Amino acid sequence: MNDCIFCKIGRGETQTAVVYEDELVIAFDDISPQAPVHTLIVPRAHYEGPGDGLPSDLMSALCAAIPIVAEAKGVAGSGYRVIINVGHDARQSVPHMHIHILGGKAMSHGMVNFAS
Instruction: Provide the annotated active-site residues.
Output: 98
Strand segments, DSSP code E, in the chain are 18-21, 25-29, 37-43, 80-83, 99-103
Task: Identify the burial level of 3 via C-beta atoms within 10 angstroms of its C-beta, where 0-12 means exposed, 13-18 middle and 19 or more buried.
Answer: exposed
Helices (H), the chain: 5-10, 56-72
Distance of CA 29 to the CA centre of its chain: 9
Distance CA 90, CA 69 (A): 23
